[in-house]
Amino acid sequence: MTANFLKLTLSGIFLAMCVASAAVYAHDDDDDEDEHRHQQHAQREHSKSENDRHSSAVSSAKLQEECGSCHIVYPPNLLPAESWRALMGNLNKHFGTDASLDLATQKELRAELENAASSRSEGGRPVLRITQTRWFQHEHDEVSNRTWRNPKVKSASNCGACHTYAAQGKFNERDIHIPR
């Protein structure tokens, strides 16, 4: 008798807990699922991009169109997500120019960039330039000051001055030609 009563009470409590958690779950179901899918996708992209810095995933036509008119489309896997977020949040003040986009385009491209971003965080405040990341400075530490100052190079951001196929997202050692 007492045992049965206890069983009944326990299953009552259990049922109540189920209902409560189902309610909570139903409440932010959509958000959770989106977030989860997003993270899975991002992780897959991350491991892929970390393995392959020589050539990056093909960027969308939209990215080409909106971000490729003033310079090459910088490969998304060369900056961590927090950097892309910071850049995309300040397009009206973009390295001395205004690169503003309408909100929908901005959001779409931001998602594309973040999804394919590098998983290697720089730590601290988001670095806004690829050329200021630690890996970039390390990879380029043998480039002489004379080369950086060469008018044919102009700026370290001008990747295509040395990387023949930079515009195609290819940075392989074989395809480097330092201008004299």
Structure tokens given for 48: 């892929």
Buried b (16+ CB within 10 A) or exposed e, 50-81: eeebeebbebeeebeebbeeeebbbbbbbbbb
To ligand HEC, the closest distance from the beta carbon of 54 in angstroms equals 5
Q: Is 53 in the site for ligand HEC (CB under 6 A)?
A: yes
Q: Is 134 in the site for ligand HEC (CB under 6 A)?
A: no
To ligand HEC, the closest distance from the beta carbon of 43 in angstroms equals 22
Q: Is 170 in the site for ligand HEC (CB under 6 A)?
A: no
SS3 176: strand
Residue among 146, 118, 108, 148 at smallest CA distance from 57: 118
Q: What are the residues binding ligand HEC (CB under 6 A)? A: 53-54, 66-67, 69-71, 74, 78, 87, 91, 94-95, 97, 99, 109, 129-131, 139-140, 143, 147, 153, 155-159, 161-163, 171-173, 176, 178
